[in-house]
Amino acid sequence: MKPTSVKRNIQKALLSWFDTEQRDMPWRRTGHPYPIWVSEIMLQQTQVKTVIPYFERWMKSFPTLQKLARSHEETVLKHWEGLGYYSRARNLHRAAKLVVKEHNGKVPNTYDSLIKLPGVGRYTAGAILSIAFDQPVPVLDGNVKRVLSRLFVMQSNGVPSAHEKHLWETSSELVPTQRPGDFNQAMMELGATVCLPKKPLCLICPLQKPCEAQQRGEVDKFPAPKVRTPTKKIEVSAAVITRGGKVYIQQRPHSGLMGGLWEFPGGKRKPEETEEACLKREIKEELGVPITISKKLMTIKHSYTQFRVTLNVFWCPWKSGRIRATQCEQWKWVKYEDLNQYTFPAANARIVKSLLNKGEKL
Ligand code: SF4
């Protein structure tokens, strides 16, 4: 338990810093729970400057929870295209439907009700309750964790769950009853703009005095560096199959990675295979038809959090046969100009962009 005077000093210093230094963000101008919820979901794993245009477009298309709940999933996913982690969009959509059905369209203002909604975890519930409903509920994201670790020289002693629990308790102790939402946002803002992972700007930090790591000259020891698992490299072959001015695309199964998104067929190359042999095998397995490979169109390199993909894309004019695509949700022949209506994972979206930029049909 931190002494009351320490807590008060931290709260006071941080809130007055936030009053003058906070960045202007569109969701901060609203105070309403729905846009705050949307922004919090978008901001998970994504930086503020990337989120802003997505947020603005989202609020224009889905200005209310009711409008979101009534929208088709394909439209919702299209608004998320490029943000990644699409389960966030699907969960938000499902949650909107539940709020309309079970809460009369109003975002619930209790922790127990919020936590039951798809995609709402302890962090999101805390952010909504404190920022939109002025309740002294803590938040703990990567930025807050870093600030707290340094402020109180907190280190994991080999039991990550115990450390996490300790961080939540500390965040809970610190959040004030007056202006809890501003305080939580100030902690996150400090982590994002001043208490940076590398080279924190301690000289301009409002918490320089109470910060124990700074006082000890041990800022670089907190938090302890993460042990990173090496990124996996995978090579994939994909087919742009064309027939009479149309392109074949298929929808990934709703459950699973990037569920519900559209893609060009293909798959992972085995070590002993050539890119072309891989594609022929994959298409035979996925569509049940043989293909003819005309030429290589492009190679795309794309990094996801866990792996790095090299995508070799081939043009395959339609040969013959009856498509029996059993591994996907559905498949379609789509006009080039309509490809933009579908949501593709990032690497596949680059194939679409390139096909449309070429301005000529294969
Ligand atoms: S003094 Fe430095 S290490 Fe401590 S909270 Fe501020 S920026 Fe972070």
Over the chain, what is the mean pLDDT? 93
Q: What angle do CA 51, 103, 137 make, to 5 degrees?
A: 60
Same domain, residue pair 100 and 187: yes
311-362 pLDDT per residue, tens: 999 999 998 889 998 889 999 999 999 999 999 999 999 999 998 887 555 6
- Phi, psi for 136 (deg, rounded to 5): -75, 70
Number of domains in the chain: 2
pLDDT for residue 158 is more than 80:
no
Q: Are residues 249 and 209 in the same domain?
A: no
Q: Answer yes or no: is pLDDT of 42 > 90.
A: yes
The verdict on 216 and 178 lying in the same domain is yes
The verdict on 171 and 316 lying in the same domain is: no
Please say whether the dihedral angle defined by the alpha carbons of residues 347, 352, 358 and 362, taken in this order, is positive or negative: positive
Minimal-distance CA residue to ligand 1 atom 4 = 211
* pLDDT above 70 for 137: yes
Distance 300 CA to ligand 1 centre (A): 40
Question: What are the angstrom distances between the C-alpha of 24 and each of 35, 126, 188, 219?
Answer: 15, 21, 14, 29
pLDDT of residue 359: 55
pLDDT digits (tens, 9 = 90+) for 196-227: 999 999 999 999 999 999 999 999 999 988 77
The whole-number pLDDT of residue 1 equals: 67
Same domain (yes/no): 45, 65? yes
Q: How far is the CA of 199 from the centre of ligand 1 (A)?
A: 10
> Hey, which bits of the chain come out as E strands?
232-243, 246-251, 262-263, 266-268, 295-303, 307-317, 330-335
Q: What would the 3-class secondary structure string for 100-129 be?
A: HHHCCCCCCCCHHHHCCCCCCCHHHHHHHH
Return the pLDDT at 159: 75
Residue 163: band (very low, low, confident or very high) from pLDDT cuts 50, 70, 90 = very high
The pLDDT, as a whole number, for residue 164 is: 93
Using the predicted structure, report yes or no on whether residue 147 has a pLDDT greater than 70.
yes
CA 120 to ligand 1 centroid distance, Å = 30
Mean pLDDT for 59-71 is 98
In a domain, 70, yes or no: yes
Segment 101-136, tens digit of pLDDT? 999 999 999 999 999 999 999 999 999 999 999 999
Same domain, 302 and 171: no
Domain-ending residue, one of 221, 240, 266: 221
In a domain, 176, yes or no: yes
Within a domain: 226: no
Same domain, residue pair 183 and 255: no
Q: What percent of the chain has pLDDT over 70?
A: 99
* Residue 240, domain extent: 232-358
Would you please indicate which residues are annotated as catalytic (active-site) residues?
A: 40
Q: What residues are in contact with ligand 1 under a 6 Å CB criterion?
A: 147, 150-151, 194-195, 200-202, 205, 207-208, 211, 213-214, 219
Q: Which residue has the higher pLDDT, 233 or 304?
A: 233
Residues 32 and 100 both lie in one domain = yes
- Are 142 and 246 in a shared domain? no
pLDDT band at 276 (very low <50, low <70, confident <90, very high): very high
